[in-house]
Amino acid sequence: MTQSSQAPLPLVVLISGSGSNLQAIMDACADGRINAAVKAVISNRAGAFGLQRAEQAGIPTHVVEHNRFADRQAFDQALAERIDRYRPGLVVLAGFMRILTAAFVNHYRGRMLNIHPSLLPNFQGLNTHQRALQAGAKQHGVSVHFVTPELDGGPVANRATVDIQPGDDAKTLARRILEQEHRIYPETIGWFAAGRLKLVDDQAILDGKPVAQLDKTYP
């Protein structure tokens, strides 16, 4: 268990689905591995199982359904208003399946992270596991990155690599990738909470050095 004299970093987590990464983050907060606390969980889908995970942990939940708004700008404005009630130090996208406007992203510049199931910049977008297999890739993985207006294009802060095995399909690959997601997302949030990770001039900086110069597998 880590010890810190600083107050836990307040997090707001955005989800759209089952919330397995949310669970990994909540667990890391609860057992003191990272000096952070989830203050609210917000979903754009009312039926997202991740909302139940948060409720069971006593964390406030909100639903802001995107299809109830006239356009993306109106949805993003309502979402930002809900987020900002909690004054988060970091906004965490954990399986949040909406493309966000530049105005929204820039509002949280340097304090919003996303996790993407590929070794960015490879395979931005959807269906990454199948695309990696079809491309004949030898390795696949997962990346945590700062969010910028470019879809899945922000500076990578952390990543983990998985070897593609003979006989792998999208499901077997996805299972092994998910194990790494649950490891590196809390780890990266912990770095940010400790002041070790920052966004400086469009570069992810860890312990004073650009992440691009470091071993991105972080064993």
- Number of Cβ within a 10 Å radius of residue 85: 12
Q: How far is residue 88's CA from residue 155's CA, in Å, rounded to a whole number?
A: 21
For the record, the structure tokens of 21 come out as 């990464």
CA dihedral 204, 208, 214, 216 (to 10 degrees): -40
Active site residue 62: no
Q: Which one of the listed residues 62, 66, 116, 182 is annotated catalytic? A: 116
Instruction: Show the CA angle centred on residue 83, arms to residues 144 and 200, nearest 5°.
Output: 40
Is the peptide bond between 186 and the residue preceding it cis, with omega within 30 degrees of 0? Answer: no
- What per-residue string of b and e applies to 19-49 under the rule 16 or more CB within 10 Å gives b? bbbbbbbbebbeeeebbbbbbbbbbbbeebe
Residues 6 or more apart whose Cβ sits within 8 Å of residue 187? 34, 158, 218
Q: How far is residue 206's CA from residue 198's CA, in Å, rounded to a whole number?
A: 7
Catalytic residues: 116
